[in-house]
Amino acid sequence: MSDRFIRAIFPGSFDPITNGHLDVIKRAIKLFDELIVAVGRSPIKNPLFTPEERVEMIAELVKDIPRVSVESFDCLTVEYAARKKADVILRGLRSLTDVQYEFQLAMTNRAVSGIDTVFVMTSEQYGFTTSTMIREVAALGGDVSKLIPIAIYEKLQLKLANRTKP
């Protein structure tokens, strides 16, 4: 057993967090001493939830998972990792289609800062879940309740109802 403390950051948009993300967090915490879920504040296309809302929703979900915390960040991922003295970046993999993009991202991050990325594969049942798909299907009235935690489902319904009010 190593006595080295390993801190990982798990950066992403999490708009909203899905069962797939949560599955990756629960698997990954077995590998690290500390895991910081890091919500990127940089604008993604049409975000549904504000960074503050995303942080709050994730915090509620991970509050009983020891050694996991959540915050937002507003700079390059590698800068944020350095600021937090993180040893590794964690990213989730769903399928082979994720690999090419994630490979490029990980190589770029390593080239610019030397930090390595650790990948954790999600359960097969969440392999097709994306936050984008969740937002789109839910906006059109589809039932996404099996793909996201119930608390997030309720927040999503509320957000969409408020959004579509004239």
Active-site positions read 21, 45, 94, 131
What does the per-residue mask of binding to ligand ADP show for 55-94, with x meaning CB under 6 A? ------------------------------------xx-x
Beta strands in 16-137 (DSSP E): 34-40, 68-73, 88-93, 116-121
Token couple for 94: 């769903």
Q: Does 24 bind ligand ADP (CB under 6 A)?
A: yes
Four-CA torsion 50, 17, 6, 106, nearest 10 degrees:
-90
CB of 103 to ligand ADP, least distance (A): 12
| Comparison of 38 and 87: residue with beta carbon closer to ligand ADP | 38
109 belongs to the binding site for ligand ADP (CB under 6 A)? no
User: Binding to ligand ADP by residue 130, rule CB under 6 A?
Assistant: yes
Selection from 156, 35, 166, 33 nearest residue 92 by Cα: 35
Does 113 help bind ligand ADP (rule: CB under 6 A)?
no
Helix 150-163 crosses helix 51-62 at what angle (to 10 degrees)? 160
Question: Taking phi first (over 0 means left), then psi (-120 to 50 degrees means alpha), and beta for anything else, what does residue 159 get?
Answer: alpha
Closer by beta carbon to ligand ADP, 3 or else 124: 124
| Residues making contact with ligand ADP (CB under 6 A) | 12-14, 18, 20-21, 24, 91-92, 94, 98, 122, 126, 129-131
